[in-house]
């Protein structure tokens, strides 16, 4: 670990000694390929289902999970849970497609945050809703705030990792140039619901020097591994050295979690806020009978440092802080870090 990248370890210790009453230490993504995306819950119109149709759907869910779900060790529990549903009184009262999706999702989301049964709008002929990636593209590719404070502290706040293409690259590059000369940076991911793994890779490259291993994904379907690295052609030497604080919270999900998890375990940033949502594994849709579809995680993120991921447990921040105070705390941490750094430089000179 370089001297630059290890500076947080010393400061976390000092900060804890000074502010113990504010802090609880931590206890202890995904990624999308070009053919996967993150589930967005769709409304399901009120279509009636009889008992035979419901049981057919349960059997179909069991089959697709057996064949495709990446967390193989969890499959027996899921199958047992789905089998038990057949004898559940509440399930007997399910009469519509809307009731079915609500009941099943409430059951399966306790096991994996990426499971989702929803209306198959393409097969039903209903008007298609705006997708997550389309909404990101329409709303400045997810960027909400790009600012530089009077202390020369930069702030990047964005609510999703948009699909990576020439237009989004240009938008991201323009935002990076706007903060290129800051002394420290806050990356606010507390409302970031995820998106593209390629964009995680692209944005990360601005803050990490050279070619660095970010993550690996195991695919059950192909029984293969795909490694993700930063792009050494993106050369912003100053941004690769500045101190960074990342803010996360319970709404931080998937791609946003991977970004924070990577930077935390590479000792490249201090992560503050609250534990994130806990969805690490890429998924894709499978068609079901009776106008439904089922999102199943089919791949698994494997961090090169931890050889694990944040699935089901979330990313644990270095410092637990109330989210309404997080931006102010992040600024205080960076100002203090920069003051110490300047004092050392002046002393050495």
- pLDDT tens digits for range 225-276: 999 999 999 999 999 999 999 999 999 999 999 999 999 999 999 999 999 9
Place of tokens 């995306």: 37
Q: Which of 186, 189, 200 is nearest to 243 (CA)?
A: 186
CA distance linking residue 61 with residue 40, whole number of Å: 19
Q: Coil, helix or strand for 297?
A: strand
Reported confidence tier of residue 1, pLDDT bands at 50, 70, 90? very low
Evaluate whether 239 touches 206 at the Cβ level (below 8 Å): yes
pLDDT above 70 (res 82): yes
Reported confidence tier of residue 349, pLDDT bands at 50, 70, 90? low
pLDDT of residue 112: 87
Q: What percent of the chain has pLDDT over 70?
A: 84
Helix 197-204 vs helix 255-265: crossing angle, to nearest 10: 40
| CA 53 centroid distance within chain | 35
- Per-residue model confidence as pLDDT tens digits over 93-132: 999 999 999 999 999 998 888 899 998 866 555 566 788 8
- The model carries a pTM of 0.80
pLDDT of residue 342: 74
Average pLDDT, the chain: 86
**CB burial class (10 A; 0-12, 13-18, 19+) of residue 128?**
exposed
DSSP calls for 193-244: --B-HHHHHHHHTTTS-S--EEEEEEETTTTEEEEEE--TT---TTTTTS-E
Average pLDDT over residues 150-160: 97
């Amino acid at each position: 670990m370089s001297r630059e990248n290890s500076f947080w370890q010393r400061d976390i210790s000092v900060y804890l000694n000074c502010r113990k009453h504010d802090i609880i230490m931590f206890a202890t993504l995904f990624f999308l390929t070009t053919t996967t995306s993150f589930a967005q819950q769709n409304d399901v119109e009120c279509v009636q289902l009889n008992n035979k149709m419901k049981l057919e759907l349960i059997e179909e869910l069991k089959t697709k999970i057996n064949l495709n779900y990446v967390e193989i060790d969890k499959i027996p529990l899921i199958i047992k849970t789905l089998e038990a549903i057949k004898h559940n009184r509440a399930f007997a009262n399910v009469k519509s497609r809307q009731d079915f999706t609500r009941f099943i999702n409430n059951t399966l989301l306790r096991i994996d945050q990426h499971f989702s049964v929803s209306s198959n709008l393409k097969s039903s002929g209903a008007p298609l809703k705006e997708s997550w990636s389309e909404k990101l593209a329409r709303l400045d590719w997810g960027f909400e705030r790009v600012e530089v404070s009077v202390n020369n502290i930069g702030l990047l706040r964005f609510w999703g990792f948009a699909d990576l293409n020439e237009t989004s690259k240009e938008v991201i590059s323009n935002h990076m140039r706007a903060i290129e000369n800051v002394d420290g940076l806050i990356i606010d991911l507390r409302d970031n619901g995820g998106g593209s793994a390629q964009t995680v890779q692209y944005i990360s490259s601005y803050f990490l020097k050279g070619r660095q291993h970010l993550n690996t994904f195991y695919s059950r379907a192909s029984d293969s591994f795909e490694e993700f690295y930063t792009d050494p052609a993106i050369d912003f030497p100053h941004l690769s050295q500045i101190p960074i604080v990342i803010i996360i919270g319970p709404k931080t999900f998937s791609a946003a979690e991977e970004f924070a998890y990577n930077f935390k375990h590479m000792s490249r940033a201090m992560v503050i806020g609250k534990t994130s949502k806990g969805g690490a594994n890429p998924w894709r849709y499978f068609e079901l009978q009776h106008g439904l579809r089922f999102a199943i995680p089919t791949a698994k993120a494997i961090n090169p440092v931890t050889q694990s991921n944040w699935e089901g447990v979330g990313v644990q921040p270095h410092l637990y802080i109330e989210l309404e105070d997080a931006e102010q705390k992040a600024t205080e941490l960076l100002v203090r870090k920069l003051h110490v750094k300047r004092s050392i430089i002046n002393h050495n000179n």
